[in-house]
């Protein structure tokens, strides 16, 4: 019985440590990002390569949670509609390509 409990606890901790945005689809996220021209303001800010905003040394997103918060900020500023599924997809794309949060 005790063994079963330990086994369950191990399994649950495994779920809790699942990779961030593991339910997201990075390919769909990339499509969403491009279709909605997410980089248009980032290009202006960074001058040229908009994606450099995700790897700049003083970047403002340092956790998956901050990334979602930033999505809300950017989408509200620009009128881009982002569903919870889109958030997971774009998060998976940006995390796999730039942020690499574990
Ligand atoms: C209206 C202009 C605008 C649009 C459109 C926009 N963003 Fe942004 N975004 C910004 C600005 C400005 C910053 C930098 C804010 C700062 O440095 O304080 C930023 C920063 C970010 C960051 C954080 C970068 C870092 O420093 O780690 C992420 C992530 C991000 N944007 C995602 C998105 C996504 C995803 C979309 C499309 C759904 C999007 N943005 C569309 C203006 C925009």
CA 74 / ligand 1 centre spacing (Å): 5
Note the maximum CA span of the chain: 62
At residue 69, the pLDDT reads 97
> How many other C-beta atoms can be found within 10 angstroms of the C-beta atom of residue 31?
14
Which atom of ligand 1 lies at the shortest distance from residue 58's CA? 26
Reported as a single tens digit per residue, the pLDDT across 55-70 is 999 999 999 999 999 9
CA 59 / ligand 1 centre spacing (Å): 10
At residue 66, the pLDDT reads 98
Question: Is ligand 1 within 6 A of the CB of residue 78?
Answer: yes
Residue with tokens 């990334």: 67
The distance from CA 11 to its chain's CA centroid, rounded to whole angstroms, is: 25
Give the chain's residues under pLDDT 50: none
The number of residues in the chain equals 102
Question: Is ligand 1 within 6 A of the CB of residue 36?
Answer: yes
């Amino acid at each position: 019985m005790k063994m079963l409990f330990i086994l369950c606890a191990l399994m649950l901790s495994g779920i809790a440590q699942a990779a961030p945005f593991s339910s997201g689809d990075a390919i769909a996220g990339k499509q969403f990002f491009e279709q909605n021209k997410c980089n248009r303001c980032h290009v202006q800010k960074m001058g040229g390569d908009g994606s450099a905003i995700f790897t700049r040394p003083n970047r403002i997103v340092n956790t998956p949670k901050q990334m979602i918060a930033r999505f809300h900020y950017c989408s509200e500023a620009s009128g881009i509609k982002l569903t919870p599924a889109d958030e997971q997809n774009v998060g998976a794309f940006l995390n796999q390509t730039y942020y690499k949060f574990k």
